[in-house]
Each structure stands twice: as C-alpha cells, then as structure tokens.
C-alpha cells in the first residue's frame, strides 16, 4: 500500500526548511529514502555538515517514522 511521507530538513530546535511529500511503499522505504536524501544533500552542500541538521520523515498522520542525521553519529 502506497503512503505519502513528508521529508523536512531541520535542526529539531527551530530551523525547518520547506518540506517535500513523496509517495512510497512504507516506513522502511521512507527511512532508506531519507538516508539517500541526507547523503546527497551533503554531497551537494557540504556546508551543511557539523550543524546538527537532519532529515525528519513523517507519515500522513504526522507521526515521525525516521530521523536521519546529515552528520555521522559517533
């Protein structure tokens, strides 16, 4: 069953970029897609590194299904 997920670049404290909505098969696929988006964002905009940014993934009911940090977690 296809679901719509919202992807948001955020610092979880106050900054939140415009969101995008994408239809995917489920939460697992949304998390994988979020990781790809984070990786590609860092490749295209390396100045986002070390700023505590992440990709927040929410489902249609606004529940958070994944939080993907742009920086590696150590």
pLDDT, position 71 = 82
CB 9 within 8 A of CB 47: no
Tokens encoding 47: 């100045």
Model confidence at 74: pLDDT above 60: no
Tell me if 74 is assigned to some domain.
no
pTM for this prediction = 0.88
Domain count, the chain: 1
Range of the domain at 30: 3-69
Kindly give, in sequence order, each residue whose CB lies less than 8 Å from that of residue 65, ignoring residues fewer than 6 positions away: 5, 27, 30, 31, 57, 58, 59
pLDDT digits (tens, 9 = 90+) for 6-53: 999 999 999 999 999 999 999 999 999 999 999 999 999 999 888 999
Model confidence at 69: pLDDT above 70: yes
Cα-Cα-Cα-Cα dihedral of 18, 21, 26, 32, to 10°?
A: -50
Tell me if 9 is assigned to some domain.
yes
- Alpha carbon of 59 to those of 46, 66, 74: distances in Å? 28, 9, 28
Tell me if 55 is assigned to some domain.
yes
Model confidence at 73: pLDDT above 70: no
């Amino acid at each position: 069953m296809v679901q719509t997920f919202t992807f948001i670049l955020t610092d979880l404290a106050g900054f939140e970029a415009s969101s995008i909505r994408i239809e995917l098969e489920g939460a697992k696929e949304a998390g994988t897609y979020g990781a790809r988006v984070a990786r590609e964002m860092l490749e295209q905009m390396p100045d986002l590194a070390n700023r505590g940014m992440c990709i927040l993934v929410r489902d249609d009911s606004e529940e958070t299904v994944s939080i993907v940090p742009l920086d590696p977690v150590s």
